[in-house]
Structure formats: C-alpha cells, structure tokens
Structure 1
Amino acid sequence: MTVHALIPRNSLAWLLTAQIVVLLPQLPRLPIWVAALWLGCALWRVQIQRMRWRYPGTLFKAAAIGLTVLGVFTSQGTLIGLDAAVLLLLLLFMLKLLEMRNPRDAMVVIYLGFFIVATAFLFDQSILLALYQCFSLLVLVAALVGLHQTPGRNDPARAFKTGAVLLVQAIPLMLVLFLLFPRIGPLWSVNAPGQSAATGLAESMAPADIANLARSGELAFRASFTDDIPPHSELYWRALTLSRFDGRRWSHSSLASGGSPGDWTPQGEALEYQVMTRATQQPWVFSLRGATTEDDALVLTRDFMLQSKRPISQTTTYTAISYPDSVLQAEELDPLQWRLYTGLPEDVDPRSRAWAAELRRQYPDDGDLLQALLRHFNREPFHYTLRPPTLGQHSNDEFLFDSQRGFCAHFAGAMTFVLRAAGIPARVVAGYQGGELNPRGNYVLVHQFDAHAWVEAWLPGQGWVSVDPTFQVAPERIERGLQAAMQGEGSFLEDSLMASARYRNINWVNALRLGWDDLNYQWQLRVLGFESERQMAFFQRWLGTTDWQRVGVILLLAAAAVMIPLALWTLRPGRQHRDSRQRAWQRLDRRLARLHLRALRGEGPRVWQARLAIALPAQREVLAAFFDEYVQQMYGLGAARPNRQQQAKLNRHLALLLRQLPRKRPASASVLLE
C-alpha cells in the first residue's frame, strides 16, 4: 500500500534548501561519501513525496544506523571525540529526511539544522563563516515559516521577509546577551582531533624546511605594541631552541626547555606587546628576547622561551613584556647543559671540525672567535638564496667550503656546528624575523615567509648572546624583509601565485589586503576575544562594577528595555490582522472621508459599493473593478492571504480609483446624504 506524504510540497522544498545551505560549509572537511549519502536521501524523499517509493521500514532503518556508525568509525578511526560526534550528527540530520511523516518531524529537522550551524564554529570562526551562517539562520527561519504556509499561501518571498524581520528583531537582545551574559569558555576551545596544525615551525629543522616556509604566504601571527613599534631589524620573534644535531637536522630537546629558567637580568627599555597567534597544535608561542608575562596559561622555560601549558588549538591572544638587552644566564652552565650544547655526532663534517680547531688556536677568547666567524660570513663570497643546491652527507662541510649558497638555516646551523666544535656552547633559535606594518590597525603582520633561524652562543660573564650570520651575508633580509632580499633572484613566493602578499607592490591590492586583514584582526580581538577578562574590564568601565549580582540586575533590566518596546510594537492593536486587503479598504475609506462617503459601521463591501455608485456615477466602472477584486480575494472559494500578484492587482485597481475620485463632494453625494 502506498503511503501518502503529509508534508506539503512547498515545505519539502524549504527543508531540502535549508539542508543544502546548512551542510555546505561542512562539506570541505567531510568524506565524499557523505555528500553522496545526502543526495540519496534527498532523492528517496522526493520519490516518497511523488508517491513512487515507500517509507523505509524498521529493518532498513536499523541497518542504516549500523552503517552510519560504521562509516563514522571508518572515516575517523574512533567513535569518541568531537570530529566523530559532529559527523554522526550530520549523518543523522540527513537520514531524518527519510523518516519525516508529518510537520512535527519536519520541525525536528529544522531544529537540528540550528545545531548543525553551531557545530561549524567548532572548526572555523572566521568572519566570512559568521556572515554565511547568518544567511543559514535566515534560511532555517524562513523554512520554519514556510512549513506553516498552506498551499494557497505559499509565498517564498514572504517567508524570507518574515524570517529576516524575526532575525533583525533578535539582534538587540543578542547584543545585550553578548555584552552582559557571563562569559564561559567557547565550545571551539575543545581540541578537535581532526584539526591539523597550521603551516609553521616544527620541532626539528633541516635547511630545506625553513626554505619551504619562506615560500608560504600564510599568516603566522599578529603583534601590536603599547608604544612605538621597534625597527624591522630588531624584531626577532623567538619560538623554540634547537639543541640536538644528528648530522642532518637540528631538533628540539625537552632537556633544554624543561625546568625553570636560570638567572637573568632585565636590562634596557621594556617592550610591552600583544600577540595573536593562530592554532598550531604546538605549545610554543612567539616572543622577543627577555620575555615575561602574567598570563597564567604561559610559562617561561629553561631556555628562556615563552611556552603554553597546552598546545595552541585555537586562535589565542596573550600579552608579554620583553627586555631585548637582557643578560640571560650569566652563571656557569651545569654539566648537563654543557654536554647538551656542545654535543656533536661523530664522523660528520671533518673539514668543519678542523677549521674550528684552527679558529680556536687563533682565538683563545670565546668572544673573539665568535666575531671571527661573523667576519668570515661577511667577507667570503656567501650567497643568500631560496634555491640552494642539494647537500650530501657532510652538509656543513659542503656548504661552508664548496657551495657557499644557502638560506638562514644553512648559516645558523653551520655556525652553531663550528662553535660547538670549538668548545663553545651554542644552539639554533628558530622563530620569525621582522614583520609587515599594517598602518590601519598599527600592528605587525608576521607571515610564514618571515620564518628565520639564528644563533645563540654562551659566553662567560655574558650569558646567552644572540648573533645572526644571515645579517652578515644579506643585511637587507633583516632590515627590509625577505621580499627585498629576493628581489634580484625573483624567488619570493614564486610557488604561491594566489598569495596576496606577493602583490604588495600594487597599491590598490595592498590597500584591500591590509584593510581586510585589519577587519579580521578586529573581529578576532573584539568579538572572538571578548572573554571573561575583557568582559570584566567592560563592566568596570561602563557599569562601574564587576559584582555579578548587580550585573545580573542590569542584564535583566537591559533585556526588558529591549524586549518590552519590541513586544508592544509587535502586538500593537490592529497589526496582527491587517493584510493588503484591509490596508486597501482603509486607504479608500480615509480618502472618501473627505467627501463624507466613508463606510458606515458594519457596512459590507457590496452595500458600500452600491451607495458609492449612486454618489459617484462617473466612477461606477472603476468602483466595480475594485470591489469585484476585493470581494473575490476576501470571500472567494479558498480565500487566504493573497500572494504578490493578487496584492498588485488589487493595488492597481485602488490606484486607478483614487486618481479618478473628485477633489470636492459632488452634488449627487449631497443629495444622497440628505
């Protein structure tokens, strides 16, 4: 037996449209079979609507649930976790199409759609997604309105208009709740297992790794300073130290960062700044030399790096104060640190070892040897390039004495190797150097192509001293950035044709790029970053209190101040039952009042028409046209709220009638009144 669908055709169209809109931002991170499943469910639902196919039976639904769970497990490798939970919810949202039998089931689908909209923010909180999800909410609300339209009143434009009005009415209350409701950790602070780290620094470094980062135009982080922004050449953003060398790669050691930092003496001018970093799924953050912070989520490591207590799984903002001229660990290194920072693998780079021994004989003082190495990089024909030749087993030997062509990682790694071979503790520091000033927001943009590596050497009485061999070879890289250094070679972002930073020399493109970035920065800072600390500062500044009881009273009063006027306006007398026909009747009535011919209390349209035909015989035809259309729409078979075409037709008849009415009361009207 064929089961007839009880959901109107127009309501089903709304539901399918709403599902497409809601699922669209989720699709890029979902397996392709999910889209195929939705197409299958939609096709089956349409066939049910056409009475071609039956509703699925109990056995089929049980099998569908089992296959859904299996599909989630196969795709995610687990049934536990945020990715798996969201995928399961999406699949059930699709399968619900096959189970809908009445408007109540359709409403469940729409309500699930609101949850699906929220889950998209677990993976992305960009301003573009927020704008798109506003449109998704509009479609869902319009679908809810459309679900309650009868076939005779099916008007998509009216449903959209009603949905838009409802959303606009909700904006004042949304703003009140955003500003005053207690802030809790956002849902998207949950670390989603499926989230991948943004392109960036890793715990180990080979020269090619930094060179690959230099070919990326992705944003790494933004930094704003309380006072003037330091010069480009002084912005060395430290991320982590690399202290282990296996003959090819430098890597981070937990022995270097574990434990509390040694003694250090803040010196020079303090720099206070705020950093906004993207999700990296790594614990390290970015700071200038000699950094301190009062942020409870950050710690200062033994190698004087700021580090998060947890991996950065969302866009994070923190404040730090740095003293770039600080003396770091002037006291003697302990034996473990000495072995860590002077250790080298055996049987690699013999020529570099021999040269280090020769330098040690020439320069017994560690500081003199360090300066001699820097002079060597400055005077010898070294060349800074993003296209270095491939190096063999003894990479430092081949770089220092044969090719002499490389990137910052080549220079930093080779110099650290020679210093260690000469008995001087040294380590590679990986991070970023420089940044691009955005004058619109007065902050610094640091991109992946600003990735850099330099050297820290420990000198008796001076502690860890930062030196940069790259500056000796290509000072323009440090003073003006990578683009200036690569101008002659033409390798700046050569593999990233769509990177907007590639076209910084085109003024209008650069203005659009910086304007859009500033908009995103303010969105992250003032909207997504409006957490408990900022909210408390807002309370203190604008409300004069941070007491939650008082804030709660203010919240209730503000909500009432918003909702009561809105309710009074929405429920004002006569508004709920006026439609286009009533408005046309009342407009004609007001106009005829000037001629003392307005409708009498309880007078029907045909009686009024007959009276007007006697008083206004010259307008008898236009009167008949208007009243015939009015009566047909108001009392005709299946009369309901008129659609746009009917409204337009009635308004045309009314306009023609109003144009032909006399300005003064005719004599016939006077006789009628007498």
Structure 2
Amino acid sequence: MTGHALIPRNSLVWLLTAQVVALAPHLPRLPLWVAVLWLGCALWRVQIQRMRWRYPGLLVRVLALLLVTGGVFLAQGTLIGLDAAVMLLLMLFMLKLLEMRRPRDALVVIYLGFFIVATAFLFDQSIPLALFQCFSLLVLVAALVGLQQTPGRNDPARAMRTGALLLLQAVPLMVVLFVLFPRMGPLWSVNAPGQQARTGLAESMAPGDIAELARSGELAFRAAFDGAVPAQPQLYWRALTLSRFDGRSWSRSRFNSAGTPPDWEPQGDPVSYRVVAPASNQPWVFSLRGASSTDERLVLTGDYLLQARRPLAQAMSYGASSRLDSLLQPGGLDPLQQRINLQLPEQGDPRSRAFAAQLRQAYPDDAALVQALLRHFNREPFHYTLRPSPLGQHSNDEFLFDSPRGFCVHFAGAMTFVLRAAGIPARIVAGYQGGEMNPRGNYVLVHQFDAHAWVEAWLPGQGWVSVDPTFQVAPERIERGLQEALAGEGSFLEDSPLAAARYRNIGWINDMRLFWDDINYQWQLRVLGYQSERQLDFFRRWLGTTDWQRVGLISLGLSLLIALPMALWILRPDRQPRDPQRRAWVKLNRRLGRLQLQAATGEGPRAWQQRLEHALPAQRDELGAFFDEYVRLGYATPPGAPTPAATQLNLALRALLQALPRTRPRRPITPLDLPGEGPRL
C-alpha cells in the first residue's frame, strides 16, 4: 500500500474524463484491445487513488511498454510510419495514468491530450469531428482549471465556465492567425501509409470494376462553375486513360502520361470551374476535355489530363479552365504511341477480331468505321445493367455476341478492342460522367455511382475524338443520370439502403441532404481549402499586397488591437470579484457610495452595519438580515468544508438595495461617531 495520493480526487476525475474525450475519435479504427487497455489503466489508477493498489514498479512498467510496442507492431505490421506512431502515442498516453504521482505529472497527461486531439485530424477533417474536438479542447482546458481547484472549492461547473471563457477569448486571435499566418502544410497533409485510395478509380480496370463502384453513394468530388453549368452530356470528367490490355483488364500506360502534352488546338469558349477533390492518396484529379490550369500544384500530362504533382493526402481545391471542342494531337501519333494504342494480345477473342475485319472491309474510312460501330451498339439488343453476366476467357466475344448485358466499361472495352483490331488507335478514358446540381451552393455533386468509362479514338485531322457507346445503348444514363437509366431494373444503390442519394425523389430528405452537403462544401472550400494559393489571393484582394513583411506588420497590429482591449477588460480595476461574498460587498458599497455611506478602509462588516443603522434607521431590519447572512457565510464555515451557497445572501442584498433611499442623509455618520468596531475584513 502506498501513502496518500498527491493528486486530488476531483482532479483525477477530470483527467479520466479528458482522456476519454481525447481518445474517443481514435477508438473506432483501433483494435478492441486498445479500449480494454485503457479501462485496465483507469481501474488501476482508481485503485491507487483509493490506496488499495500500489504504483507499478520498474519491471511492470518496462513489461507494459514492451507489450504495447508489440501490440502496435502486430496491429500495424510496422513501427515506422504515421499510423504506427499515432497508435504508439495513444498507448503511452494511457500508460501515463499509472505514473502520475504529483500535479506536475497530471499536467503532462493534459498536455499530451492536446497532441492526441490534433492527431485525430490526420485521419478525418469532417465538420462533426471538428465540433467534437472543440468539445475535447473545452474538457482539456477545464481539466487544467480543475487541477488548480482545492478539494474544498471543487466546482466542475465553474471549471467548465472558466475553460469556455478562456477558449472564447482565444478565438479572435485564432482567426487572425488562421487568415494571415503563412500557410504551411497542415499536420494532416503528411502521407499516412495506411491510407488507401478513396476516389474509387484504379490504374487497372476489369469489366465488372466500375459496376461495383457504381453501387456506392459516396461523394467523389464537387465542382463549381464561374458561369453557366454545361449541359449534362458535356460533363465528361477525365481522370485516367487506359491503354494496355492483357486479355482481361485494361491498365494505364506510363508512357502515354509521361512528358509534356503534344500539340493541341484549343477550340470553343473557355469553361472555368473550381474542383474540390477529397484526399485519395493518388495523384490524379478531375477535369473536362481540353483542360489547363495555372495552379502550380498541377501539371498537364501527355494524355491531356490534369494531374497533381504529389498524391492527394488531403482535400484539394484547384481551379481549371476547359475548351470542350479542342482538338487533341491532330497532327499525328509517333510510332511508339501508335504501337501502344494498337496493342492487343496475340491470342483471344477471335470473333471480335473477325468482326473488326468485316467492318474494315466495309468502311475503309476510319471515321465512318467508328460511326458504324456506334450504330451497331445502338441497333443490336444490348442492355445496360448493373447485373451483367459473368464473362469467361474471351470476354469481348462473349459480351458482343453471346451475353450483351453490361455496364459502361463493357461497352467501352469491347469498342476499343474492335477499333484496335481494325487498325484504329484507341484507348479507354476512365472518370465520371454528369453530376447533380446543388442549387443551394450552385455547384455540381459528382458521386461514385457517376463513375464512367468511354472511348477515345484517334482519327486523321481530328486527333483524339471522344465517343461513348453507352450513349447508344442507354442515352438516359448520359442525359439524366444513373438512377433514371436503372429505374426499371431497381438496382440503383441497392446495396446501400442508408445512402441519402437513394431517396432523392423524396423532397424533404433531398432538401436536407443538399443543405448538409452545401455546408460541407463551404467547409472544404473556405477552411480546409484555405492554402497558400487562396491566402495570396486574399492578400491581394483585401490587403493590396503579398509582401510578407507588410503582412507580418498587419498581423502584429491586428493581434495587438485584439489582445490589448481584452487584457484591459480582464485586468480592469472595477472587475466584479468571483467570490459571492466579495461580490455582494462591492455591489452594496457601490450603491451606498451614492449616499456617502461607503465602507471606510479597514472597516469590518459589523462596524459598517452599526454605522449604517445609525444613518438609516428605517432600513435596520434589511441591514441586519444582510450582515447576519454575510458574517454567517464568511465566518461560520469550518476550515476545509465546502462553502455554502450564497442564495440567502443574494436575496438579503436584493431586499436591502430595494429598501435604500435615493437621497443621502443630512449628516453622514463616520466610524468616530460610534463607540466600537466590528471585526475587520
């Protein structure tokens, strides 16, 4: 058994509460044994406080450290990297409970809690988490306040009020620093090894992959246009080009994307827009045909796609401009590009190859052959569905001639194969098509079920021409979206019954969904998206300069402008005291000062009462009630006992203030007129 714990019991309650709120956002992504470990540490700490268990010795602490290190290694597969480091920090945060002996150790636990709160944003930056973390900060600051309270003055509500006041006082300075302080990569911009791609697209694609992706109602990205939004059939959001075919799946060719884009001819009116893309841990972003951007974080690739220079480890907001009628590489393909975009396996799909030969014989002109193939998809009994039949080794043959039921990637893959077999360079473009307009924020919502694949064929004099065989089979998919295209089949989001987008036809649900999404969009755009580019734009627009020296001086001036009045308000001489006795004394003294009956320096309550009763005999009963309660509250409480509530004192003060006259007596009574004095303050 140990001696009496030096950390008060009320402070331990605060510490355990602070740990719970700091750890809560991390627990859903951690193994169950982590929560069991915290419960064990908390129970041991409580038993120490009750003087029933001892503090763990050196051997136990070393063993515990080895065990949690091994647990992190088993859970993460490594001890190196962000995921493992955060998990190990959480474990040490829990074990620190067993080492606390003095208030200084408790302070270390609280300070660690602030770091734990920050690490939660490595994995999520949503509004609900941000609101919860504000509450976590409040609890941690209240724990700091509670650690300073004595057992006799333990007041949890007062600690929470003080913590809230401290945080509110910090808000103006926080806003100034957020807006004006140089934007560096936030903590959550560090790449987390455990993160997976969350865009839904992949660098390789088999016939059923996009069909599986289309079963998800998750948001892919948002796009806001400067002017009118283009028509739905023009919203082909390019992300990847797939040029390599192994007989089963299509994949990306690094050569096609490498280097600068070949010559192209921008045509048509420019369409300007801003995209907010979520973190994906992948470099590709989304743009319309003929895109360009002045954002230094983006580069235009050799296959005319905008791509980030680094994988998106955080949500990214970028501006782009597109000319939808642009000619892409009309001058011709070099021999290597020709070979890559005509590549087919040596064997496989013999009927598709024979069909391509028939088309070539009937249509010597490439453009005419492409149109003939599109008419084939339009006239034959192809069916657009999320429930395609399984395909075997010769997937294109089986789809074109035996089981003509498929999704967009089936049509795009089969058409690209036939075009290549006919000698026309072609490739698949993977991305998204269409989107849902949110009238509240005037932007387009693109979901994972909008994922789409279409074909680009190279034609002499025209360059890369986009053609979409899906439009020939299910034009409603392109013009009105996936839900309309699958209305008869009933397969739209059938695996996601809780997806809000599934109930877009119900007015009030749809209104709530769009309203919440608009809030999230503004959060992504104006808070998470407020990085160096947007900050410099803000400086140019509102400060008229981007010179950091001038910006620093403005920041310092605004900080002082906020801090000095706040400091003067906090330190003002006439500030109301928090002690209810002292507050009542000051209030009465201020009121009696108008009658020239204020308390003299060093005058005690009974002496002041006696003098007032001589000057105000009509108020003798009210004066007696107030001073009796004042003395009882201040002098009749045993040392160490909780202070009684000041309710009766406040009631007596209110009655006395109401009974006081509004004019001064004829002759003020001083302490010298009285035979004795009461106790001094």
Distance in 2 separating the partners of 1:204 and 1:540: 43
1:68 to partner: Cα distance = 2.5
1:669 to 1:335, Cα distance in 2 relative to 1, 3 A: closer
After superposition, the C-alpha distances for 1:151-196 in whole angstroms (9 at most, x for unaligned) are: 1110011001111111111111111111222221212211011222
Q: Which moved more, 1:45-54 or 1:585-594?
A: 585-594
Distance in 2 separating the partners of 1:371 and 1:658: 95
1:521 to partner: Cα distance = 1.4
Aligned to 2:162: 162
1:462 to partner: Cα distance = 1.7
1:265 to 1:316, Cα distance in 2 relative to 1, 3 A: same
Distance in 2 separating the partners of 1:290 and 1:199: 22
Equivalent pair of 1:633/1:642 in contact (CA under 8 Å): no
Structure 2 counterparts to residues 54-65 of structure 1, below 5 A: 54-65=54-65
1:237 to partner: Cα distance = 0.6
Structure 2 unmatched runs, 5+: 675-681
Aligned to 2:645: 646
Aligned partner of residue 457 in structure 1, secondary structure: strand
Aligned partner of residue 121 in structure 1, secondary structure: helix
Aligned partner of residue 525 in structure 2, secondary structure: helix
After superposition, the C-alpha distances for 1:360-392 in whole angstroms (9 at most, x for unaligned) are: 111111111111111111112221111222222
Aligned to 1:126: 126
1:80 to partner: Cα distance = 1.8
After superposition, the C-alpha distances for 1:227-285 in whole angstroms (9 at most, x for unaligned) are: 22111110001111111222221121223222332221111122222211111222211
Q: Which moved more, 1:318-327 or 1:557-566?
A: 318-327
1:659 to partner: Cα distance = 5.2
1:467 to partner: Cα distance = 0.4
Distance in 1 separating the partners of 2:3 and 2:590: 53
Distance in 2 separating the partners of 1:668 and 1:641: 43
Aligned to 1:551: 551
Which amino acid is the alignment partner of residue 127 of structure 1?
Answer: I
Equivalent pair of 2:413/2:428 in contact (CA under 8 Å): yes
1:142 to partner: Cα distance = 0.5
1:601 to 1:293, Cα distance in 2 relative to 1, 3 A: closer
Structure 2 counterparts to residues 458-607 of structure 1, below 5 A: 458-575=458-575, 577=577, 579-591=579-591, 599-607=599-607
Aligned partner of residue 177 in structure 1, secondary structure: helix
Distance in 1 separating the partners of 2:640 and 2:529: 49
Distance in 2 separating the partners of 1:260 and 1:170: 49
Aligned to 1:276: 276
1:122 to partner: Cα distance = 1.7
Equivalent pair of 1:176/1:559 in contact (CA under 8 Å): yes
Aligned partner of residue 176 in structure 1, secondary structure: helix
Q: Which moved more, 1:509-518 or 1:152-161?
A: 509-518
1:516 to partner: Cα distance = 1.6
After superposition, the C-alpha distances for 1:422-459 in whole angstroms (9 at most, x for unaligned) are: 12111111110001111222111111000001111111
Equivalent pair of 2:272/2:322 in contact (CA under 8 Å): yes
Equivalent pair of 1:614/1:669 in contact (CA under 8 Å): no
Structure 2 counterparts to residues 135-146 of structure 1, below 5 A: 135-146=135-146
Aligned to 1:655: 654
Aligned partner of residue 555 in structure 2, secondary structure: helix
Percent identity between matched residues is 72
Q: Which moved more, 1:316-325 or 1:423-432?
A: 316-325
Equivalent pair of 1:633/1:639 in contact (CA under 8 Å): no
Aligned to 2:679: none
Distance in 1 separating the partners of 2:441 and 2:27: 34
Distance in 2 separating the partners of 1:300 and 1:375: 34
Aligned length: 673
1:589 to 1:574, Cα distance in 2 relative to 1, 3 A: closer
Aligned partner of residue 437 in structure 1, secondary structure: strand
Distance in 2 separating the partners of 1:576 and 1:592: 17
Equivalent pair of 2:633/2:646 in contact (CA under 8 Å): no
1:624 to partner: Cα distance = 4.1
Distance in 1 separating the partners of 2:144 and 2:81: 31
Matched, 1:374 2:374: yes
Equivalent pair of 1:622/1:657 in contact (CA under 8 Å): yes
Distance in 1 separating the partners of 2:461 and 2:134: 61
Q: Which moved more, 1:527-536 or 1:441-450?
A: 527-536
Equivalent pair of 1:273/1:321 in contact (CA under 8 Å): yes
Distance in 2 separating the partners of 1:623 and 1:39: 56
Structure 2 counterparts to residues 85-234 of structure 1, below 5 A: 85-234=85-234
Aligned to 1:435: 435
Distance in 1 separating the partners of 2:69 and 2:572: 51
1:452 to 1:610, Cα distance in 2 relative to 1, 3 A: same
1:117 to 1:318, Cα distance in 2 relative to 1, 3 A: same
Distance in 1 separating the partners of 2:94 and 2:415: 60
After superposition, the C-alpha distances for 1:512-539 in whole angstroms (9 at most, x for unaligned) are: 2222212111112111222222222222
Aligned partner of residue 304 in structure 2, secondary structure: coil
1:5 to 1:349, Cα distance in 2 relative to 1, 3 A: same
Structure 2 counterparts to residues 349-498 of structure 1, below 5 A: 349-498=349-498
Distance in 2 separating the partners of 1:49 and 1:110: 18
After superposition, the C-alpha distances for 1:1-59 in whole angstroms (9 at most, x for unaligned) are: 52321111000000000010111111122222211111111111000000000111122
Matched, 1:5 2:16: no
Distance in 1 separating the partners of 2:75 and 2:85: 12
Equivalent pair of 2:577/2:583 in contact (CA under 8 Å): no
Which amino acid is the alignment partner of residue 287 of structure 1?
Answer: S
Aligned partner of residue 237 in structure 1, secondary structure: strand
1:340 to partner: Cα distance = 1.9
Equivalent pair of 1:10/1:154 in contact (CA under 8 Å): yes
Structure 1 unmatched runs, 5+: none
Equivalent pair of 1:223/1:274 in contact (CA under 8 Å): yes
Distance in 2 separating the partners of 1:184 and 1:63: 40
Distance in 1 separating the partners of 2:558 and 2:663: 52
Equivalent pair of 1:626/1:650 in contact (CA under 8 Å): yes
1:296 to 1:601, Cα distance in 2 relative to 1, 3 A: closer
Which amino acid is the alignment partner of residue 226 of structure 2?
Answer: T
Distance in 2 separating the partners of 1:269 and 1:493: 36
Distance in 2 separating the partners of 1:349 and 1:545: 64
Equivalent pair of 1:633/1:640 in contact (CA under 8 Å): no
Which amino acid is the alignment partner of residue 205 of structure 1?
Answer: M
Structure 2 counterparts to residues 14-33 of structure 1, below 5 A: 14-33=14-33
1:650 to partner: Cα distance = 2.0
After superposition, the C-alpha distances for 1:284-307 in whole angstroms (9 at most, x for unaligned) are: 111111222222322222222222
Equivalent pair of 2:576/2:583 in contact (CA under 8 Å): no
Aligned partner of residue 464 in structure 1, secondary structure: strand
Distance in 2 separating the partners of 1:200 and 1:305: 18
1:424 to 1:133, Cα distance in 2 relative to 1, 3 A: same
1:36 to 1:459, Cα distance in 2 relative to 1, 3 A: same
Equivalent pair of 1:359/1:422 in contact (CA under 8 Å): yes
